[in-house]
Amino acid sequence: MTQNVQKLIVIGAGQMGSGIAQVAAEAGLRVLLNDISEAYAAKGLNRIRANLERNVSKGRLTEAEMDAVLGRISLSTTLNDAADCDMAIEAATENLDIKLQVFRTLDETMPAHAILASNTSSLPITEIAAVTKRPAQVIGMHFMNPVPVMKLVEVIRGLATSDEVYQTVYELAVKMGKTAVEVNDFPGFVSNRVLMPMINEAIYCVYEGVATPEAIDEVMKLGMNHPMGPLTLADFIGLDTCLAIMEVLYEGFGDSKYRPCPLLRKYVKAGWLGKKSGRGFYQYD
């Protein structure tokens, strides 16, 4: 048995949240795009509009289809709007306290049948579920960035997640045009547990003077056939986000192999966060 999800609220209208809202609306769902202010929510909608317009100009979408997708998205600035939604996908800042507060509020506001999902990239679903009265209906739905392009969704079962909720979310991911992969709730799941230590090790290679960032990226691109080198990727993800995930891995497993490189900490303290701040391992105009 699976549930019928028709109306969805996405919490957080940043890059991830707006991408999730876009693919949900493209899949025919009615979507509320929620953020703490009208300006943030509108910025998210503008990002979606720009993505869709690009698809129209490339002939992947008609004007009418674009209008239909945009017509299914409404903006929201209060979680009270979740009262008539079948599901929520939280894509707020990667901060456990913020997420727990959002989930407490959603749990009080949403109908009894509603599913609560988190797009967290590393925080424990079981711990998030524990602050609600419906842990069986809490699940992780970790999309990759940029959401409209990347095919993968890690569907993360918490300790109490029911089979019905898992199956519903799995099918919803497929309906959104994604490939869903089942993952159990451990720090970093699969994607970041494998990716982040690789990025961290690449940073250690810079820190220890093994090679320049350009050389390290070139080795991984040409030698391992990666589309992008690990240090370029780190700059794209945001070095603050990389550090936060390494901290989660380090705390969660207590294993020294997850120790964040001191150079990563130094860059984050200096405000060198990568592409978004104009400077990371590379400089951006």
The answer to whether residue 4 is catalytic is no
- Residue 193 is which amino acid? R
Handedness of CA 100, 104, 110, 116 (dihedral sign): positive
**Catalytic residue among 51, 118, 142, 200, which?**
142
Catalytic site includes residue 142: yes
SS3 236: helix
Write down the catalytic residue from 51, 121, 122, 200.
121
Q: Which of 34, 76, 192, 200 is catalytic?
A: 192
* Number of helices followed by number of strands (H, E) in the chain: 11, 8
C-alpha separations of 183 from 170, 214, 245, 247, 281 in Å: 11, 33, 17, 20, 31
Residues 216 and 230: beta-carbon distance below 8 Å: yes
**113 labelled catalytic:** no
DSSP per-residue letters across 134-198: -GGGEEEEEEPSSTTT--EEEEEE-SS--HHHHHHHHHHHHHTT-EEEEEES-TTTTHHHHHHHH
**Active-site residue identified among 154, 201, 208, 277:** 154
Q: Is 154 a catalytic residue?
A: yes
Nearest CA among 69, 87, 77 for reference residue 9? 87
Residue 285 Cα to chain centre, angstroms: 26
Enzyme catalytic residues: 121, 142, 154, 192
